[in-house]
Amino acid sequence: MAGHSKWANIKHRKGAQDAKRGKIFTKIIKEITVAARLGGGDVDANPRLRKAVSNGKSNNLPIDNITRAIKKGTGELEGVSYEEVTYEGYGPGGVAIMMDIITDNKNRTVAEIRHLLSKYGGNLGENGSVAWVFDKKGQIIINSSSGDENVILEAALEAGADDFEAADDFFTITTDPVSLMDVRDALENSGYEIRSAEIEMVPKTLQKLEGKEAQSALKLMDALEDNDDISKLFSNFDVDEKTLLQD
């Protein structure tokens, strides 16, 4: 699939590791809370909430946590007031980076992000500075243990998917953003194990990094991913397998 970045593969691989579970839970809970605040607590009537709850369940987020997050969003329970913002910037070698933020303190968050970008050879950009590098797509991640690659590919295309890619221990299925949940539901109803279904910013082209720039980019993305306020992180950099092994 053109434009599917190496970082996308890395973060999905890391997302499966138990060491990251706490951070995954934190980010999903924030998303559920914001989705409920903006669109109400009815999962069936709120597509964004439906997607967030679905991802929570796929990641084994306890149902009590999901219910509390919804009630905090609707105001039934007292909770933190979150603000959403998107930041754009550049990493080592001038690679494009987009960050979707959910935070209760925008000044703190932007200071932390600016510090991390500077530390690893990047900088924060203006709104619109790198958005043109990406296309908005729906992306569904399925564990490869769910079934045969060709059979899943056929099922995905039948359900309305636009593209398919096999990588490591998972398959990436790309859809139109509007069709994301319909394709996801069709695949789940066919018995496939869904790891996540998200609206992603997919790079139109990739920028290859080597040597120290590649290492710095990987360290920067790891540091940004570890920030609890960054709910989604996208980049157009690519590195070779040798660099990944060194990381």
Higher confidence at residue 243 or residue 39? 39
Instruction: Give the pLDDT mean for 130-136.
Output: 95
Supply the pLDDT for residue 5.
54
User: What integer best gives the mean pLDDT of the chain?
Assistant: 88
Question: Is a pLDDT exceeding 50 seen at residue 18?
Answer: no
The pLDDT-based confidence of 125 (bands split at 50, 70, 90) is very high
Question: Is a pLDDT exceeding 60 seen at residue 247?
Answer: no
**Structural domain boundaries, residue 110:** 83-132+204-246
Tens-place pLDDT, residues 59-106: 889 999 999 999 999 999 998 899 999 999 999 999 999 999 999 999
Q: Is residue 160 part of a domain?
A: yes
AA identity, residue 107: N
Instruction: Give the pLDDT mean for 189-204.
Output: 90
Q: Count the domains in the chain.
A: 3
Same domain, 106 and 215: yes
Residues in the chain, total: 247
Q: Is residue 88 part of a domain?
A: yes
40: left (phi over 0), alpha (psi -120 to 50) or beta: left
Q: Is residue 38 part of a domain?
A: yes
Higher confidence at residue 153 or residue 5? 153
Is 217 within 8 Å of 117 (Cβ atoms)? no
DSSP state letters, 147-176: S-HHHHHHHHHHHT-SEEEEETTEEEEEE-
Supply the pLDDT for residue 3.
42
Same domain, 178 and 145: yes
CA distance 78 to 97: 34
CATH number for the domain including 39?
1.10.10.200
Same domain, 100 and 220: yes
What tokens does 211 get? Answer: 């040597």
CATH number for the domain including 160?
3.30.70.980
